[in-house]
Structure 1
Amino acid sequence: MSHHTAPADGPLGVGILGAGPVTQAIHLPALARLRDVLEVRHIMDVDAAVASSVAARVGAASSTSMDELLADPDVDIVAICSPHQFHADQVIAACRAGKKAVLCEKPFAMNAEEAARISAVSTETGVPIVVGAMHTFDPGWLAAEQNWGDLPETVHTIRSSIVLPPNARFEDFATEIVTRPAAGRPDYSDIEVIKAALQGGIMGLAIHDLPLVRRFTPDFELVEVLQARHVRPFGYAVSLRTPSRVIELRAVMNGTWKPEWTFEAIAGDSALHIDFTPSYVQAGSAVATFSRRDGSETTSFGPYGHNGYEGEWRELAGLARGNRRAPSAQTLIDDLTFALAIAEATVESGASDHANAVAGVSA
């Protein structure tokens, strides 16, 4: 492949590790709208046929090797869209390869030890890392942030509620952890199936909104799970609290015709309600609405012309050009630690409820 150096104002080159559904249905359409800023130059996937066919759609080089992609001088920004267990090593390798910025799909690490290693390398190399929690880049959320005043300090209840039709990503997520029974019907009497479903629910779905929850939870280190239930076929109902907050996380994926993804933060006399677009939807942003208890005032922001998928790529381009300040790695670590703590406590609570229920049945 001939090497061409991008002019200072030309598009930056993007390399993508992993060419699965998220790359195909989310990142490529978002990047297609930003052609003047970003250009896909290299796609890597362990399956050579997938890599070459997806790369052909965008006129990019393809390979089955991470090292080959990282050695490609046409790649300025690396996006990591591979299975979770590879994220940490790939983030570290991309930083060491001297790239200008790294996007990692969530979760960017599987445990606190990996997160600490990433943080050290990010500090040492100065390469900015962005984690693909797309809601934090949504213009509707950013407008809320600019207008919420002291709401984060005064909130008492926070809710994240997700109703989505099933999509293959969550099935794939489940098979990474638990091999599906041959009949294709999960065995709900198996404690491991329940634990994997709860772990997958928090780390695959709730994790999108946990950075938002954390912004409204100053005492997030003191979070405890009051109740955790697995909701069939895929979903969860989790109640948490800190000394100053009540947090409710709910999700269900079923044959719904009306998807909904909402975030609420409620204080004594005012509240914030955000309606996000469902996953995989490319058009339009979230809408944020502030209301007062006495009904005197309601203010809405949005929808804007683009959503968080495009927002995160705009942010990456700015970081790679050095005209935006990188998010602190500590913020990413705090977000991950918060998610891992909730996932762990949720799995534990769901498992003990399950054990009690089974004991009750056999008694």
Structure 2
Amino acid sequence: MSQTLGVGILGAGPVTQAIHLPTLARQADRFRVVSVMDVDASVAESVAARAGAEAATTMEAVLDNPEVEVVAVCSPHQFHAGQVAAICAAGKRGILCEKPLATTRDEATQIAEAVTAAGVPLVVGAMHAYDPGWLAALDACADRIDSAHTVRSTIVLPFNDRYEDWATQIASRPAPPAPSGPPDTQARMDRIRGLVLGLSVHDLSLVRTFAPTLDSIDHAEFFTPFGGAISLTAAGRRVDLLAFMRPLWRPDWRLEVWGDDWSLRVQFTPSYVHGGSATAIIRGALGEQRLGPWSHNGYEGEWIELHDLVTGQTQPHHPLSDVLDDLTFTTDIADGAAAAIERGAAA
């Protein structure tokens, strides 16, 4: 039987309610939720009650609880650096931090310094990086990575509330933004940056496996209400990022890679869905290879990774140096896409 770790959660919004609590409930041999914090006391109490946990309204209350051994940072991204540093200072054993880990290099440096000094394992909650379907595809394509010439990430989803409401009864969610007219240039720049950091980020560490360094942003366009298309060159390879959220019924979330004589397609389940892993198809000169599905998904995979790191049962799939390189890649794309929109508006 695995060692069971006490979990504290900072932030009790829809991600905690619809993703982490159901995921942790399926891993009772590894984790038990001890404390749930939210600045809204009624939300903290409601969500904590679902897990039989203590409710808190401050980070300090969670970190002062001796039963809390690992902490999930599910707060808005601007709090991540300070909270990760506080968790390390409190002597906790492990951290799962939702993506984006940070939005600036300064914040990323603060986080890296804190976890390195404390020797605390850190897992970033980008679930696809821990999906067994992706990991199997990566292993099967290991000798083809350098021969890839084109990568495409496609994310077409309904708005989150559809899947949140299927996954659980949401205690509270942020109010939707007030209707407004067509976005001006600055608004489109801000929104495409948010699109990269909030949606495309899920698969950018996967993209970077095949196209590790950003060369240039070749085109960027934002589409209302929330979507965009970004074309870029990375390590000499063509990369297209398509991401849209709109009221559609049929989701489509896939990563595709092409070489001269082979191709890979990884098909993911939508966010908030707890119904199994991604599947993959690899085609080449010797025919077609199909992988998956597995019974668990990347949500469980990231928590399994944290448990095994804390208890000394594994080496990280994504060392801190890779995590920081992924973040630099992501923020450079976000900033470059915004700059491309600004250049287009000025032309």
Picking from 56, 61, 85, the partner of 2:78 is: 85
Q: Which residue pairs with 2:334 in the alignment?
A: 343
Q: Is the 8 A contact 1:276 1:285 kept in 2?
A: yes
Partners in 1 of 2:22 and 2:234 — Cα distance? 40
How far apart are residue 140 of structure 1 and its match?
0.1
Q: Is the 8 A contact 1:187 1:193 kept in 2?
A: no
Q: Is the 8 A contact 1:12 1:39 kept in 2?
A: yes
1:48-67 equivalences in 2 (<5 Å): 48-67=41-60
Q: Is the 8 A contact 1:186 1:193 kept in 2?
A: no
Picking from 329, 343, 349, the partner of 2:320 is: 329
Alignment-mate amino acid for residue 252 of structure 1: F
Q: Which residue pairs with 1:263 in the alignment?
A: 255
Alignment-mate amino acid for residue 131 of structure 1: V
Alignment-mate amino acid for residue 64 of structure 1: T
Partners in 2 of 1:289 and 1:95 — Cα distance? 41
1:1-363 equivalences in 2 (<5 Å): 9-168=2-161, 180=177, 184-218=178-212, 220=213, 222-292=214-284, 296-326=286-316, 327-356=318-347
C-alpha distance 189-206 of structure 1, shift in aligned 2 (>3 A): closer
How far apart are residue 151 of structure 1 and its match?
1.7
How far apart are residue 301 of structure 1 and its match?
0.7
How far apart are residue 145 of structure 1 and its match?
1.6
Partners in 2 of 1:231 and 1:305 — Cα distance? 36
> Aligned pair count?
335
Alignment-mate amino acid for residue 350 of structure 1: I
Alignment-mate amino acid for residue 202 of structure 1: V
Partners in 1 of 2:75 and 2:112 — Cα distance? 20
Gaps of 5+ in 1: 1-7, 170-174, 357-363
How far apart are residue 354 of structure 1 and its match?
3.2
How far apart are residue 92 of structure 1 and its match?
1.2
Q: Deviations over 1:126-160 (max 9, x none)?
A: 00101001000000011012111322100000000
Q: Is the 8 A contact 1:236 1:251 kept in 2?
A: yes
**Superposition CA RMSD, Å:** 1.8
Partners in 2 of 1:348 and 1:16 — Cα distance? 36
Partners in 2 of 1:196 and 1:187 — Cα distance? 15
Q: Is the 8 A contact 1:153 1:216 kept in 2?
A: yes
C-alpha distance 227-347 of structure 1, shift in aligned 2 (>3 A): same
C-alpha distance 309-209 of structure 1, shift in aligned 2 (>3 A): same
Instruction: Detail structure 1 runs of 4+ shifted over 4 Å in the superposition.
Output: none
Q: Is the 8 A contact 1:210 1:339 kept in 2?
A: yes
How far apart are residue 185 of structure 1 and its match?
2.5
Partners in 2 of 1:113 and 1:75 — Cα distance? 28
Name the SS for the 1:205 alignment partner.
helix
How far apart are residue 322 of structure 1 and its match?
1.6
C-alpha distance 9-279 of structure 1, shift in aligned 2 (>3 A): closer
Q: Which moved more, 1:73-82 or 1:315-324?
A: 315-324
How far apart are residue 10 of structure 1 and its match?
4.6
How far apart are residue 243 of structure 1 and its match?
5.0
Q: Deviations over 1:36-56 (max 9, x none)?
A: 211111001111110011001
How far apart are residue 238 of structure 1 and its match?
0.4
Q: Deviations over 1:180-237 (max 9, x none)?
A: 4xxx32332422221121011000000000000111014x1x4211100002211010
Partners in 1 of 2:268 and 2:296 — Cα distance? 12
C-alpha distance 83-243 of structure 1, shift in aligned 2 (>3 A): closer
Alignment-mate amino acid for residue 227 of structure 2: G
Partners in 2 of 1:307 and 1:354 — Cα distance? 41
Q: Deviations over 1:20-72 (max 9, x none)?
A: 00000000111111112111110011111100110011100011110110111
Alignment-mate amino acid for residue 189 of structure 2: K
Name the SS for the 1:298 alignment partner.
strand
Q: Deviations over 1:59-105 (max 9, x none)?
A: 00011110110111111110000011001111111112111110000
What fraction of aligned residue pairs are identical, expressed as a percent? 47
Partners in 2 of 1:12 and 1:322 — Cα distance? 13
Partners in 2 of 1:10 and 1:329 — Cα distance? 24
Name the SS for the 1:150 alignment partner.
helix
C-alpha distance 189-23 of structure 1, shift in aligned 2 (>3 A): closer
Partners in 2 of 1:125 and 1:289 — Cα distance? 41
Q: Is the 8 A contact 1:138 1:311 kept in 2?
A: yes
